[in-house]
Amino acid sequence: MTQTTLMSIPGQIDPVPVARDITPREDGRVDLIGLPKDRIRELFDEAGLDVKQAKLRAKQVFHWLYHRGVTDFEAMTDIAKTMRPWLAERFFIGRPDVVEAQHSTDGTRKWLLRTSDGHEFEMVFIPDADRGTLCVSSQVGCTLNCRFCHTGTMRLVRNLTPGEIVGQVMLARDALGEWPKGSMAGLEVEEDSAQYTSDGRLLTNIVMMGMGEPLYNFDNVKGALKLVMDGEGLALSKRRITLSTSGVVPAMERCGEEIGVNLAVSLHAVTKEIRDEIVPLNKKYGIDELLEACAAYPGASNARRITFEYVMLKDKNDTDEHAHELVRLLKHYKLPAKVNLIPFNPWPGAPYECSTPERVKRFSEIVFEHGISAPVRTPRGRDIDAACGQLKTAAEKKSRAQRDREAAEALESTATA
Ligand code: SAH
Ligand code: SF4
């Protein structure tokens, strides 16, 4: 079982359990997934290798872990045969457990995953003609209760660790069979990483748009994305990674500076009244403050625009006036912007409906007529509840009463066993 410690999340009042960077395993071995090269070197050092050996082995193991996707020390052919069992006795190379894998009729795939301490979360792969996008989760549940979002009705269970976040990308590469092959003679990694952008690869893009608010799990998301972007690691370009936030203003500048990925902002409304209702975080960080932070986002330019996500809710935020106000705001703050209109994806008991297709089209035209691109996102994987805002794991869907009942039953059965 993973031990969790209480740690406060910036901007949150309640401390939530956060797993440690090293997940203690029952067999005493240390899971290396999610650790950066320096940390691996430290661990090798502590386990008894001399400084030079620790450095060399860390470099080799790092490459095998993140660049080759190897999960068995025996496969690390440039490491001495006698050394491999020594490593396997002390260390482990894990992946999140797969509870269930589903395939949509449109090709979208969704995996229900489980952490070693038994929490379930989801990742989604969306194949397109010219790209394949993996939608990655950052938390189990979410502290923010956006009214249109199914994940928002779950309580926050805990932040995912860097290993659980990067583990999703690694698992997707496993499932798609996309680890580079060939030998790694002389650790010529630079040469090799160039292959990554080659066409024909299925997994080309990553969006931090799964369950949770990534900027409320900043350090772990940063740690994981560093491994994804590392040329000797998963080697995906930062231009192919997008982080979506509901507007955690104080963390946005750091995100641009320290992570440097593309930014997407869940704007969804242009008046205080409506945004307060549908994205309650707006009461803390209002629209003007949010757009000012966007204008200052490091690295944003006309070549690298900020995406503004706008969920289309019938009779709520979808009038012509709202579209005009959206244009005015984006121009007022001189934002290098594109707008992504998301038809609302329904879920049982949702308090909203999706705008009509005609309304969505008209809204898109108005924004477009003012020179801002505003495509309508095609919902993907709705049949397997994999579309935006539909992610919510079965375990957490159970009512409080049902959970309590199950817990009581479990106790009873251990008592009578
Ligand atoms: N927490 C982050 C990222 C995850 S949500 C955020 O809020 O930005 C990814 C996107 O899906 C967000 O823009 C979110 O607002 C949107 N979304 C949530 N529920 C939705 C639903 N039911 N239909 C359509 N989009 C939804
Ligand atoms: Fe959390 Fe994003 Fe859903 Fe809001 S839309 S509840 S921030 S996951």
- Work out the pLDDT band at 384, boundaries 50, 70, 90: confident
**Bigger pLDDT: 394 vs 126:** 126
**Bigger pLDDT: 115 vs 18:** 115
- Work out the pLDDT band at 19, boundaries 50, 70, 90: low
**Encoding tokens for residue 125?**
């792969």
pLDDT, mean of residues 129-157: 90
Say yes or no to pLDDT of 198 above 70. Answer: no
User: What is the spatial distance between Cα 124 and Cα 206, in angstroms, rounded to a whole number?
Assistant: 10
- Work out the pLDDT band at 405, boundaries 50, 70, 90: low
Sequence-ordered list of residues with C-beta below 8 angstroms from that of 173, at least 6 positions apart, any chain: 69, 179, 203, 234
Q: Which pLDDT value is given to residue 214?
A: 97
Say yes or no to pLDDT of 21 above 70. Answer: no
Q: Tell me how far apart the terminal alpha carbons of the chain are, to the nearest angstrom.
A: 22
Say yes or no to pLDDT of 192 above 50. Answer: no
Mean pLDDT of the chain: 87
Q: Which of 120, 122, 213, 309 is catalytic?
A: 122
| CA torsion through residues 217, 135, 99, 153, sign | positive
- Is the distance from the beta carbon of residue 213 to the nearest atom of ligand 2 less than 6 Å? yes
* Whether residue 277 lies in the annotated active site: no
Residue having the nearest C-alpha atom to atom 8 of ligand 1: 245
Q: Which pLDDT value is given to residue 25?
A: 78
Q: Which of 49-53, 176-180, 277-281, 367-371 has the lowest average pLDDT?
A: 176-180
Q: Which pLDDT value is given to residue 51?
A: 96
Q: Which pLDDT value is given to residue 364?
A: 98
**Bigger pLDDT: 157 vs 253:** 253
Domain borders along the chain are: 5-92, 97-402
Which residue blocks in 150-230 are alpha helix, DSSP H? Answer: 162-176, 189-193, 218-229
Q: Which pLDDT value is given to residue 382?
A: 85
Which ligand approaches the C-alpha of residue 388 most closely?
A: 1
Give, for ligand 2, the residue of 12, 16, 142 to mutate: max count of ligand atoms closer than 8 Å to Cβ.
142
Prediction pTM value: 0.88
Query: Three-state SS across 268-285?
Result: CCCCHHHHHHHCHHHHCC
Closest CA to 209 of 291, 288, 278, 149: 149
Q: Which of 160-164, 383-387, 397-401 has the lowest average pLDDT?
A: 397-401
Name the DSSP letter for residue 185. Answer: G
**How far is residue 63 from each of residues 22, 78, 168, measured CA to CA in Å?**
19, 11, 18
- Work out the pLDDT band at 1, boundaries 50, 70, 90: very low
Strands 109-114, 97-103: pairing kind: antiparallel
- Work out the pLDDT band at 204, boundaries 50, 70, 90: very high
- 55 CA to middle of ligand 2, Å? 41
302-333 as b/e: b if 16+ CB within 10 A? eeebbbbbbbbbeebbbeeebbeebbebbeeb
pLDDT, mean of residues 354-358: 97
Q: Which pLDDT value is given to residue 390?
A: 78
Say yes or no to pLDDT of 291 above 50. Answer: yes
**Bigger pLDDT: 381 vs 371:** 371
pLDDT, mean of residues 290-296: 98
- Is the distance from the beta carbon of residue 135 to the nearest atom of ligand 2 less than 6 Å? no
Q: Which of 9-23, 222-236, 283-297 has the lowest average pLDDT?
A: 9-23
Q: Which of 23-32, 93-102, 106-115, 404-413 has the lowest average pLDDT?
A: 404-413
**How far is residue 106 from each of residues 103, 176, 315, 408, measured CA to CA in Å?**
8, 17, 29, 41
Pick the CATH number of 97-402 from 3.20.20.70, 3.40.50.300, 3.20.20.140, 3.40.630.30: 3.20.20.70
Closest CA to 113 of 103, 123, 104: 123
Q: Which of 309, 354, 388, 396 is catalytic?
A: 388
Say yes or no to pLDDT of 359 above 80. Answer: yes
pLDDT, mean of residues 319-335: 98
- Work out the pLDDT band at 201, boundaries 50, 70, 90: confident
- Is the distance from the beta carbon of residue 142 to the nearest atom of ligand 2 less than 6 Å? yes
Looking up tokens 């909203």, which residue turns up? 352
Say yes or no to pLDDT of 248 above 80. Answer: yes
Q: Which pLDDT value is given to residue 314?
A: 98
Percentage of the residues of the chain whose pLDDT score is greater than 70 = 83
Say yes or no to pLDDT of 311 above 80. Answer: yes
Residue pair 40/58 in contact by the 8 Å Cβ criterion: yes
Question: Tell me: the pLDDT tens digits for 166-190?
Answer: 999 999 999 999 888 754 443 343 3
Q: Which pLDDT value is given to residue 262?
A: 98
* Whether residue 122 lies in the annotated active site: yes
Say yes or no to pLDDT of 14 above 70. Answer: no
Rg of the chain over Cα atoms, rounded to whole angstroms, equals 22
Q: Which residues line ligand 1 (CB under 6 A)?
A: 146, 148-149, 209, 213, 244-246, 266, 309, 311, 342, 344-345, 388-389
CATH class belonging to 5-92: mainly alpha
